[in-house]
Amino acid sequence: MHLAQLNIAKAKYALDAPEIKDFVDNLDPVNKIAESSEGFIWRLQDDSGDATNVQAFSDPSIIINMSVWSCADALKNFMFRTHHRDFMRRKKEWFEPIADDSYVLWWIPVGHIPTVEEGVEKLEYLRNNSDTPDAFTFKSHFSAQEYLASIA
């Protein structure tokens, strides 16, 4: 099994605004770090090389990121032990707080590429049901074995 993740953010500014320029200018370098990270499998991107133009919600200020990793530790290492961490620390500069869960993790079969619709469904499932083996956060982090047992 591989670990899929979807996270969303509500931008305070249009992506071409000077207030968010530092974030936008670093999308490519941070994405390259992800792609070269151990355990990276896949990430959502459009023709521009990132996913900022992918609209998954009716609110156009909500941007999404979705990726697949070999395991939770690989994702955590990228998130918290690379240059990505520096941008997570600055998210309040660029993004509005989101009251509900803003990310979701779920297990997928090896070789499966999740769709945006699948990711949004998992986020909604998490928001409605809290952490379960089907959709969870790092707080609960259900293992692939727990997920498989839950569907057996």
Confidence at 53, pLDDT banded by 50, 70, 90: confident
Structural domain of residue 112, as residue ranges?
Answer: 2-151
For residue 47, pLDDT over 90 is answered with no
Global pTM reads: 0.94
Q: Which of 3-7, 46-50, 82-86 has the least mean pLDDT?
A: 46-50
Closest CA to 56 of 22, 91, 10: 10
> What's the domain count of the chain?
1
Q: What is the CATH number of the domain that holds 77?
A: 3.30.70.100
